[in-house]
Amino acid sequence: MNLTGAQALLESLRREGVEVIFGYPGGQVIPIYDAIYREGFKHILTRHEQGAVHAADGYARSTGRPGVCLATSGPGATNLVTGLATAYMDSVPIVALTGQVPTSMLGRDSFQEADITGITMPITKHNYLVKNVSELPRIIKEAFYIATTGRPGPVLIDLPKDVSVSACVYSYPETLSLPGYKPVYEGNVKQIKAAVAALETAKKPLIYAGGGVTISGAEEELLRLAEKAEIPVTATLMGLTAFPGTHPLFLGMLGMHGAVAANYAVTSCDLLIAVGARFDDRVTGQVSTFAPNARIVHLDIDPAEIGKNVRVDIPIVGDAKHILAALLSLLSAEKHEQWLKEVNKWKSNHPLVYQPHTDYIMPQAVVETILELTDGEAIICTEVGQNQMWAAQFYRFTRPRSFITSGGLGTMGFGFPAAIGAQVGNPERVVIDIAGDGSIQMNIQELATIASYQLPVKIIILNNGYLGMVRQWQEFFFEKRYSEVALNNPDFAKVAEAYGIKAYTVKKPEELKRMLTAVLNHPGPALLNCLVHPEENVLPMVPPNGSIHQMLGVGEV
């Protein structure tokens, strides 16, 4: 089969099962866009390349399949950078395709030339500059394999224009040879036995579940393990859908804005079982006082995560699903009545609460009402800041891959385009972006995307008129010097209407539920601008570098 590079690219994508590309055209990718046009390959035109990469990310996180984005050389490629870093931090499989100047023009500061493989080296799992069309099928095969296996991550392929237009005799390789890349899936049996023995003697075991559970699809095994051995479970921001939010063994999120019960449990437990989590500083607070009484078992597919931030007693390298299944098969049923009693007391003494207000809508109430109206079934995307933390605290997730948020990088402007990708990948589901008034403006141009494809994404803005999370830090730690955080916002409803999107503003607490219902029931895209209390804070809170059992906003009991 004789194909041009552009045709070979699309054919290879089809063989990898890719159904959609999120992208934005430009000079060096016109040949690829020509092939897309002629072959009718499904493509979503975002209004900014950052939108395209975040959409590919949201697609990947919500479906578990790799997301694909495409941008032109130079500025198109550099516009992908934030999105690649976001995906890299949260281990999301993306294959990013960029145009490049022809190979003969490389290194001459040609028009729209940028060294994108150099730029993205530290924020991709791997990247390629294709020098000859004959290598293209192999490189695509490797890229998908690397992006989706082991600890997943973004892979970038830079495609000079001459590669796209040259002809090749096409054949897609069946096998690949990557002598330096051999992810390990099965856990070491000796280590698994050691973990079982530790569990059998533990009096106060605790599971700390991270995003790795979701990536590995180990939710079922985790649930069975927790129930069989009666182990309470706390989760990271990335792991919130790893365990049913409504389950009696679930303590909620841990860390800086975690639930009191979760943080107390970490401090008291005698065995901490970390599953696909990486002891991030937002989780551990001061490392020296983190889980001070516990032996630590750490399950992770990435050997470099073991012992990186905390000392680990029993490391097990491999895939969470495999290892948890092995643990389950060796473990007998356990009871931890006393421990559960203790944990449940913390839970009932320190529930997540907020003070309702007669004049203001409370942002937490918005999330609670969304939960009520969607029955915990929606795909919730968030921006970054207070909106993100309230969504994490007050929504109860019951379905896997239903919480899409930028954890590691904390990228404002992520949630909305990610929601676009999630909606494209899950046309039947309700997809909601819980947004901040600051963050939504970082990719607000994507309103045009949901309008033109009539993607029924719902945007709910928790509009506090501030870069709220920064304002909160200034209130707590900088004596209320509110430096550059007040936003003079446009009328978001009018902005959305200008794009042809149904939109409302709500101000009165008593109207919140009715307006949310109207927006969620609207068959197409819709936006609700919720004017919420301007100075509400996210509590409880562990001050930066504090110990996680010493939280601000926790009443004495």
Partner 1 sequence: MKHILALLVVDQPGVMVRVAALYSRRGYNIDSIAVGKTEDPHVSRITLVVEAENEAELEQITKQLYKLVDVIKINDLTKDDAVERELALMKVSAGSANRAQLLQIADIFRAKIVDVSQDAVIIEVTGSEDKVEAIIALIKPFGLKEIVRTGKIAMVRSAVRS
Ligand X SMILES: Cc1ncc(C[n+]2csc(CCOP(=O)(O)OP(=O)(O)O)c2C)c(N)n1
List interacting residues with partner 1 (CB under 8 A).
117-118, 121-122, 125-126, 129, 146, 178-181, 302-304, 306-308
**Minimum gap (Å) between residue 525 Cβ and ligand X:** 20
Report the partner that residue 122 touches, choosing among partner 1, Mg ion, ligand X, none (CB closer than 5 to 8 A by kind).
partner 1
Length of the chain: 557
What is 220-264 written as a DSSP string?
HHHHHHHHHTT--EEE-STTTTSS-TT-TTEEEE-STT--HHHHH
Nearer to ligand X, 291 or 538 (CB): 538
Residue 526, token pair as written in the block:
């819709």
Contacts of 107 (CB under 8 A, 6+ apart): none
Report which of 383, 387, 456, 461 is spatially closest to residue 422, judged by C-alpha positions.
456
Report the partner that residue 236 touches, choosing among partner 1, ligand X, Mg ion, none (CB closer than 5 to 8 A by kind).
none
Residue 328, token pair as written in the block:
């389950």
Interaction with Mg ion in 422-441: which residues (CB under 5 A)? Answer: 436-438
Report the partner that residue 172 touches, choosing among partner 1, ligand X, Mg ion, none (CB closer than 5 to 8 A by kind).
none
Nearer to Mg ion, 353 or 486 (CB): 486
Report which of 327, 329, 240, 244 is spatially closest to residue 277, judged by C-alpha positions.
240
The answer to whether 416 is a known catalytic residue is no
Figure out which of the listed residues 62, 374, 387, 449 binds ligand X, where binding follows CB under 6 A: 387
The answer to whether 111 is a known catalytic residue is yes
Site string for ligand X, 476-515 (x = CB under 6 A): ----------------------------------------
Nearer to ligand X, 248 or 544 (CB): 544
| 295-300, strands of its sheet edge to edge | 250-253, 233-235, 205-209, 271-275, 295-300, 314-317
Nearer to Mg ion, 12 or 382 (CB): 382
Report the partner that residue 304 touches, choosing among partner 1, ligand X, Mg ion, none (CB closer than 5 to 8 A by kind).
partner 1
Report the partner that residue 408 touches, choosing among partner 1, ligand X, Mg ion, none (CB closer than 5 to 8 A by kind).
none
Q: Does 383 bind ligand X (CB under 6 A)?
A: yes
The sign of the CA dihedral 256, 258, 264, 269 is negative
Helix (H, G, I), strand (E, B) or coil at 192: helix
Nearer to partner 1, 40 or 180 (CB): 180
Report the partner that residue 148 touches, choosing among Mg ion, ligand X, partner 1, none (CB closer than 5 to 8 A by kind).
none
Residue 545, token pair as written in the block:
């570098």
- 373-404 b/e with 16+ CB inside 10 Å = b? bbebebbbbbbbbbbbbbbbbbbebeebbbbb
Report which of 221, 242, 247 is spatially closest to residue 328, judged by C-alpha positions.
221
**Minimum gap (Å) between residue 547 Cβ and ligand X:** 23
Report which of 137, 113, 118 is spatially closest to residue 129, judged by C-alpha positions.
118
The answer to whether 372 is a known catalytic residue is no
Separation CA 410–CA 420 (nearest Å): 18
Report the partner that residue 383 touches, choosing among ligand X, Mg ion, partner 1, none (CB closer than 5 to 8 A by kind).
ligand X
Which of 125, 141, 161, 204 is an active site residue? Answer: 161
**Minimum gap (Å) between residue 288 Cβ and partner 1:** 15
The answer to whether 469 is a known catalytic residue is yes
Asked if 148 and 301 count as a contact pair (C-beta separation under 8 A), the reply is no
Which of 16, 49, 221, 536 is an active site residue? Answer: 49
Return the number of other C-beta atoms located less than 10 Å from residue 332's C-beta: 9
Figure out which of the listed residues 258, 415, 468, 540 binds Mg ion, where binding follows CB under 5 A: 468
Separation CA 94–CA 60 (nearest Å): 7
In 76-184, where do the E strands start and end?
94-100, 126-129, 154-160, 167-169
**Minimum gap (Å) between residue 466 Cβ and ligand X:** 5
Figure out which of the listed residues 95, 297, 316, 467 binds ligand X, where binding follows CB under 6 A: 467
**Minimum gap (Å) between residue 289 Cβ and partner 1:** 20
The answer to whether 50 is a known catalytic residue is no
Planar angle of CA 83, 86, 91, nearest 5 degrees: 120
Figure out which of the listed residues 50, 98, 214, 464 binds Mg ion, where binding follows CB under 5 A: 464
Figure out which of the listed residues 234, 464, 474, 529 binds ligand X, where binding follows CB under 6 A: 464
Tokens 């579940």 appear where?
209
Report the partner that residue 183 touches, choosing among partner 1, Mg ion, ligand X, none (CB closer than 5 to 8 A by kind).
none
Separation CA 530–CA 435 (nearest Å): 10
Q: Does 468 bind ligand X (CB under 6 A)?
A: yes
Q: What is the DSSP letter of 80?
A: T
Figure out which of the listed residues 12, 369, 439, 537 binds ligand X, where binding follows CB under 6 A: 439
Site string for ligand X, 32-71 (x = CB under 6 A): ----------------------------------------
Figure out which of the listed residues 236, 386, 423, 489 binds ligand X, where binding follows CB under 6 A: 386
Which of 1, 39, 111, 477 is an active site residue? Answer: 111
**Minimum gap (Å) between residue 304 Cβ and partner 1:** 4
Nearer to partner 1, 304 or 552 (CB): 304
Separation CA 87–CA 409 (nearest Å): 9
Figure out which of the listed residues 218, 229, 362, 462 binds ligand X, where binding follows CB under 6 A: 462
Asked if 72 and 27 count as a contact pair (C-beta separation under 8 A), the reply is yes
Report the partner that residue 307 touches, choosing among partner 1, Mg ion, ligand X, none (CB closer than 5 to 8 A by kind).
partner 1
Asked if 249 and 233 count as a contact pair (C-beta separation under 8 A), the reply is yes
Contacts of 539 (CB under 8 A, 6+ apart): 257, 354, 551, 552, 553
Which of 469, 515, 541, 551 is an active site residue? Answer: 469
Please list the active-site residues: 49, 111-112, 161, 469
Q: Which residues bind ligand X (CB under 6 A)?
A: 383-387, 410-412, 436-439, 462, 464, 466-470
Q: Which residues bind Mg ion (CB under 5 A)?
A: 436-438, 464, 466, 468
